[in-house]
Structure 1
Amino acid sequence: MWLPGIVILLTIGLLQALGVVAIPTGAITVGSGGKYSTLAAALKDTSSNVYYIYAGTYTGQVAISRANVAIYGETTSSGTYTGNKVTLTAAVPASSAGSNDASGTVRVLASGVKLYNLNIANTYGKPVSQSQAIALSVQAGNFGCYGCKITGTQDTLLANVGTQIYAKSYISGYVDFIFGQTASIWVAKTVIETTGSGYITASGRSSADSNYYVFDQCTIQGSGSSYLGRPWRNYARVIVQNR
């Protein structure tokens, strides 16, 4: 099933789905040899909408609040997550942050953001039964995520608002680890890995709107006994297909 809006973004996304191995012209650089030591600091520099992160592990939360920003991570293989050399990590639970979104290691708060070849992790784990801890929170549409590795335990990916695509990426967790309320998301040729028993998706769709979660030609693997999804709200709608 092809969905209006999703089709447009999917087409754009596939054209842009390959990241870069070389540093993009005019990019603001982050890391060893770069202009800034952290992505959070670099994002305050608005002289370009393009950012490039050198190899390394960067600890701390990042909020992207400017539209049409593109962020590239250093990689040896731009068409997949397997060659990624950049990790953005934090260990913040929603219980201390004040909300699911506020716990995100990376928070997307503006439209038109594109992420390429980044590992994004929330390493809080699950020390208690309710351990919501988001790795990536997306609160705006026209979002693209290409060749990224997104890891957590409970509520790894909060795909919450607008039209979003995730392509040739990796997403892991085991409790409601792909969830949200008013987004249409298309997850294409991505590895979905369960790391324990639970639910992969928790769709919070609460009305008869046009939104879907679609998983197209994805590889679902892992450990534990897992369900493809559970209805977080009454109008939950998730499609898993292998066209």
Structure 2
Amino acid sequence: MVSKTHFQLIVLLVFLLSSLNITSSSYAQSVANFDKWVSCNMKKYDERKNILKSKWKVADLKLRQAESNKVIITVSQDGSADFKTISEALNSIPPRNTMRVIVSISPGVYREKVMIPRTMPFITLSGEAGNPPTITGNDTASASKRNGTPLGTFHSATVAVDASYFVAINIKFENSAPHEIGRRGEQGVALRISGTKAAFYNCSFNGAQDTLYDHKGLHFFHNCSIQGSVDFIFGYARSLYQNCYLNSTTKKVASITAQKRTNSSLDSGFSFQNCTVTGSGKVYLGRAWGDYSRVVFSYTYMDNLVLPKGWSDWGDQKRDSRVYYGEYMCSGPGANMAGRVPWARVLTDEEAKPFIGTQFIEGDTWLISP
């Protein structure tokens, strides 16, 4: 394994060379050296995967215990269940909960702002596959709190999850606030996930600007639909999106992702595997919210709305040598690499391996069947 000191020296070298306006040949050599380190590091992913497997019994003993003690509570607006609202059901759960609590939600539109605090782990929101419930709201970043100050993007979320070990199955998360091009403060989050080791199965996330705030932690999205106009998947997290449908509703030009990896040692990023990118307008696959933003698309179908350049450095060229934007075995008219920015990566088989499969999110240590 390459030492942390060695890695820091390489990153410092790249920065110094670029800041001194070195020749293109020297710059190419520095990038090649960095690529060599990346390739060497990726060879170790199998070793890391085996280590993670061996940690299961110790690292997530609390999760194993929670799964062996399950409780189901029900929600229905017609009064036929334990509770009429989702918030009432959640409020009935004692703090520092240690059991898996499944909140079974009947079909319907639930107009409420749902908050799951850090002190409430092991919560599952579950709906019917054929008629999933919708949790909806319309707060935006510019909406006012009780004291008159703006909510901000963070607090605009219809559903906010700060707890770990959260699961959602067959749920529609929605923020119905529209986005008008050129206006400020219209960020409207449908779901913010800030707890770690969270999984979403067969869920929908519908909004406009900043639909899904994939804030921080390890997250898994399987067979989900995510729709929005501007940066509609954004955050700091390390997340795997598997068999997901990404639908753009932008009218002009926007970006699907805005991943904020702020330094080279931060182990975060978004991986999209076997997904579909379609919709309206023209889109970048991602733009660099953070200097070391990391996003990879593999085995993904991209319709012709994807711009030939593919990626944006958000107007900051120093990020070109720092971001990690990769594509592997993608298809469709939007997957043509001929016009891509020169700092986007066409991944080799070896380079793609760490991003494909649940080992990217250490899933072998915490993912459970829905």
TM-score range, shorter chain: 0.7 to 0.9
TM-score w.r.t. the length of structure 1 is 0.84
Q: Higher Cα Rg: structure 1 or 2?
A: 2
| Distance apart, 1:75 and its partner CA | 2.3
Whole-angstrom CA distance in 2 between matches of 1:75 and 1:55: 10
| Equivalence for 1:68 | 122
Matched, 1:150 2:227: no
| Equivalence for 1:187 | 241
TM-score w.r.t. the length of structure 2 is 0.56
Whole-angstrom CA distance in 2 between matches of 1:70 and 1:99: 27
Match of 2:175 among 101, 116, 122: 122
| Equivalence for 1:230 | 287
1:102 partner amino acid: H
| Equivalence for 1:210 | 267
Matched, 1:113 2:166: yes
Whole-angstrom CA distance in 1 between matches of 2:256 and 2:199: 20
| Equivalence for 1:200 | 256
Aligned counterparts, 1:38-57, within 5 A: 38-46=85-93, 49-57=101-109
Q: 152-161 or 119-128, which moves further after superposition?
A: 119-128
2:138 partner amino acid: A
Whole-angstrom CA distance in 2 between matches of 1:62 and 1:101: 14
Whole-angstrom CA distance in 2 between matches of 1:86 and 1:63: 17
Match of 2:277 among 213, 220, 233: 220
* SS state at 1:200 partner: strand
Q: 93-102 or 230-239, which moves further after superposition?
A: 93-102
Structure of higher RCO (CA pairs closer than 8 Å, 6+ residues apart): 1
* SS state at 1:232 partner: coil
Higher share of residues assigned strand: 1
* SS state at 1:40 partner: helix
* SS state at 2:168 partner: strand
Report if the CA contact (8 A) 1:194-1:224 is conserved.
Answer: yes
| Equivalence for 1:29 | 74
- Give per-residue Cα distances to partners, 1:76-103, cap 9 Å, x unaligned: 2xxxxxxx43100000001125222211
* SS state at 2:160 partner: strand
| Distance apart, 1:26 and its partner CA | 4.2
What is the aligned length?
Answer: 220
Higher share of residues assigned helix: 2
Identity of aligned residues (%): 30
- Give per-residue Cα distances to partners, 1:147-189, cap 9 Å, x unaligned: 00100000000001100011001000010110002x1010000
* SS state at 2:231 partner: strand
| Equivalence for 2:297 | 240
Which 5+ residue runs of structure 1 have no aligned equivalent? 13-24, 77-83
* CA RMSD after TM alignment: 2.3
